[in-house]
Structure 1
Amino acid sequence: MASVRRKPTISAGWKTQIACAAVLLVALFPAPGYMVKSDDFKRCDQSAFCVRQRAYADFADKVYNDSKDSRLSPYELVAGSLKFDEKAGLVTASLLDAENKIPFSLSVSLLERNTARVQIKETRPVKSRYELSGDLALASELPKSVPISSSTNSKDSSETTVVFGEKKQNSLVIRAKPFAFSLSVNNVPAVTFNEHGYFYYEHWREKDVAAGLANQDASSSSGDLVVETGITDDEEKKLKEALNKDLWEETFKSTTDSKPNGPASMGFDISFPGSSNVYGLPEHAANFSLLPTRGKGKVYDDPYRLYNLDVAEYILDSPMALYGSIPFMFSHKKGVSAGLYWMNAAEMWVDVEKHDESDILSKASKWLPFGSHKAPKASTTAHWMAESGAFDVFIFLGTKPMDIFDSFTALTGRPVLPQHFAVAYHQCRWNYIDEQDVADVDANFDKFDIPYDVLWLDIEHTDGKRYFTWDSAKFPNSEQMQNNLAVKGRKMVTIIDPHIKRDDSYKVYKEAKDLGIFIKDKNGNDVDGWCWPGSSSWIDYTDEKARKYWAERFKFSEYKGSTPSLFTWNDMNEPSVFTGPEITMPKDALHNGGVEHRDVHNVYGTLLHRSSYEGHLLRSDNKERPFILSRAFFAGTQRYGAIWTGDNFAKWDHLEASVPMLLSVGTSGVVFSGADVGGFFGNPEPDLLVRWYQVAAFQPFFRAHAHIDTKRREPWLFGEPYTSLIRAAIRERYKILPYIYTLFAEATRSGAPIMRPLLAEFPEDEATFAIGDQFMLGSGILVKPVISKDQESVNVYVPQASVWYDYHTHAKLAASTSGHVTIKTPQERIPVLLRGGSIIPRRERVRRASNLMLRDPYTLWVALDQQGQAHGELYADDGHTFQYQENKYILSALSYTHNTLSSTLHTTQTSAPSESTITEVGSRVERLVIVGLKTAPKRVVVTEGGKKSDREVLVESEKLADGLVRVTLRDPAVIVGREWEVKLEF
Structure 2
Amino acid sequence: ERGLKICVWINPYIAQKSPLFDEGMEKGYLLKKPDGSVWQWDRWQAGMGIVDFTNPDAAEWYKDKLRRLLDMGVDCFKTDFGERIPTDVVYHDGSDPVLMHNYYSYLFNRAVFEVLEEKRGRNDAVVFARSATAGGQKFPVHWGGDCSANYDSMAETLRGGLSLCLSGFGFWSHDISGFERTAPPDIYKRWTAFGLLSSHSRLHGNESYRVPWLFDDEAVDVLRFFTKLKCRLMPYIYSTACEAAYKGIPTMRAMFLEFPEDPTCLYLDRQYMLGGSLLVAPIFNNESTAQYYLPAGKWTNIISGEKIEGGSWRTEKHDYMSLPLLARPNSVIPFGKVDDRPDYDYADGVEFHVFELSDGACAGSDIYDTGGRKVLAFKASRNGNEIVMEAADVSNGTGAGGHDRQWSAVLRGVERAVSVVGGTAEATDRGLRIIPGKGITSVRVIL
Deviation at 1:766, TM superposition (A): 0.7
Deviation at 1:836, TM superposition (A): 0.5
Which of the residues 75, 81, 102 maps onto 1:572?
81
Aligned pairs (5 A) from 1:560-959: 562-563=72-73, 565-575=74-84, 585-620=85-120, 622=121, 625-707=124-206, 709-710=207-208, 712-791=209-288, 793-800=289-296, 802-814=297-309, 819-847=312-340, 849-852=341-344, 854=346, 856-867=348-359, 869-879=361-371, 889-890=374-375, 892=377, 894-898=379-383, 899-904=387-392, 912-918=394-400, 924-933=405-414, 936-942=416-422, 952-956=423-427
Greater relative contact order structure (CA < 8 Å, 6+ sep): 1
**Bigger Rg, which one:** 1
Deviation at 1:957, TM superposition (A): 5.2
Contact 1:518 1:526 (8 Å CA) reproduced: yes
CA gap 1:765/1:851 in 2 versus in 1, 3 angstroms: closer
Contact 1:927 1:968 (8 Å CA) reproduced: yes
Deviation at 1:868, TM superposition (A): 6.4
Q: Deviations over 1:126-150 (max 9, x none)?
A: xxxxxxxxxxxxxxxxxxxxxxxxx
Alpha-carbon distance in 1 for matches of 2:101, 2:299:
46
Contact 1:781 1:833 (8 Å CA) reproduced: yes
Deviation at 1:618, TM superposition (A): 2.2
> Aligned residue for 1:301?
none
> TM-score w.r.t. structure 2 length?
0.91
Contact 2:338 2:344 (8 Å CA) reproduced: no
Alpha-carbon distance in 1 for matches of 2:389, 2:350:
15
CA gap 1:812/1:869 in 2 versus in 1, 3 angstroms: farther
CA gap 1:522/1:829 in 2 versus in 1, 3 angstroms: same
Counterpart secondary structure, 1:850: coil
Alpha-carbon distance in 1 for matches of 2:87, 2:419:
72
Aligned pairs (5 A) from 1:171-210: none
Deviation at 1:893, TM superposition (A): 5.2
Contact 1:632 1:643 (8 Å CA) reproduced: yes
Alpha-carbon distance in 1 for matches of 2:196, 2:362:
24
Contact 1:936 1:957 (8 Å CA) reproduced: no
Alpha-carbon distance in 2 for matches of 1:915, 1:662:
38
Find out whether 1:497 has 2:7 as its counterpart. no
Alpha-carbon distance in 2 for matches of 1:651, 1:633:
25
Whichever residue aligns with residue 636 of structure 1, its letter is: G
Whichever residue aligns with residue 518 of structure 1, its letter is: L
Alpha-carbon distance in 2 for matches of 1:644, 1:922:
39
CA gap 1:570/1:821 in 2 versus in 1, 3 angstroms: same
Contact 2:366 2:374 (8 Å CA) reproduced: no
Give unmatched runs, 5+ long, in structure 2: none
Contact 1:878 1:889 (8 Å CA) reproduced: no
Whichever residue aligns with residue 741 of structure 1, its letter is: Y
Contact 1:796 1:821 (8 Å CA) reproduced: yes
CA gap 1:501/1:974 in 2 versus in 1, 3 angstroms: farther
Contact 2:348 2:400 (8 Å CA) reproduced: no
Q: Deviations over 1:323-366 (max 9, x none)?
A: xxxxxxxxxxxxxxxxxxxxxxxxxxxxxxxxxxxxxxxxxxxx
Contact 2:332 2:353 (8 Å CA) reproduced: yes
Aligned pairs (5 A) from 1:212-611: 487-503=1-17, 506=19, 508-555=20-67, 558-559=68-69, 562-563=72-73, 565-575=74-84, 585-611=85-111
Alpha-carbon distance in 2 for matches of 1:634, 1:922:
44
Alpha-carbon distance in 1 for matches of 2:102, 2:398:
45
Whichever residue aligns with residue 294 of structure 2, its letter is: V
Q: Deviations over 1:669-720 (max 9, x none)?
A: 122111100111212111211110111111112111011x32x331233343
Q: Deviations over 1:887-941 (max 9, x none)?
A: x542625333330112347xxxxxx43235337x9973443111254x6223322
Contact 2:213 2:220 (8 Å CA) reproduced: yes
Q: Deviations over 1:72-130 (max 9, x none)?
A: xxxxxxxxxxxxxxxxxxxxxxxxxxxxxxxxxxxxxxxxxxxxxxxxxxxxxxxxxxx
Deviation at 1:956, TM superposition (A): 1.6
> Aligned residue for 1:393?
none
Contact 1:805 1:811 (8 Å CA) reproduced: yes
CA gap 1:973/1:653 in 2 versus in 1, 3 angstroms: farther
Alpha-carbon distance in 1 for matches of 2:3, 2:255:
36
Contact 2:298 2:309 (8 Å CA) reproduced: no
Alpha-carbon distance in 2 for matches of 1:510, 1:855:
53
Deviation at 1:864, TM superposition (A): 2.2
CA gap 1:550/1:896 in 2 versus in 1, 3 angstroms: farther
Alpha-carbon distance in 1 for matches of 2:343, 2:201:
16
Contact 2:54 2:93 (8 Å CA) reproduced: no
Counterpart secondary structure, 2:229: helix
Q: Deviations over 1:4-26 (max 9, x none)?
A: xxxxxxxxxxxxxxxxxxxxxxx
Give unmatched runs, 5+ long, in structure 1: 1-486, 576-584, 906-911, 943-951, 961-965
Counterpart secondary structure, 1:983: strand
- How many residues get paired? 444
> Aligned residue for 1:967?
432
Alpha-carbon distance in 1 for matches of 2:65, 2:260:
47
Q: Deviations over 1:493-537 (max 9, x none)?
A: 11111101224x61x334433332222222232211225431111
Deviation at 1:761, TM superposition (A): 0.6
Aligned pairs (5 A) from 1:51-90: none
Alpha-carbon distance in 2 for matches of 1:630, 1:522:
30
CA gap 1:591/1:652 in 2 versus in 1, 3 angstroms: same
Contact 1:857 1:923 (8 Å CA) reproduced: no
Alpha-carbon distance in 2 for matches of 1:894, 1:532:
54
CA gap 1:812/1:630 in 2 versus in 1, 3 angstroms: same
Identical amino acids, percent of aligned pairs: 23
Counterpart secondary structure, 2:72: coil
Counterpart secondary structure, 2:167: coil
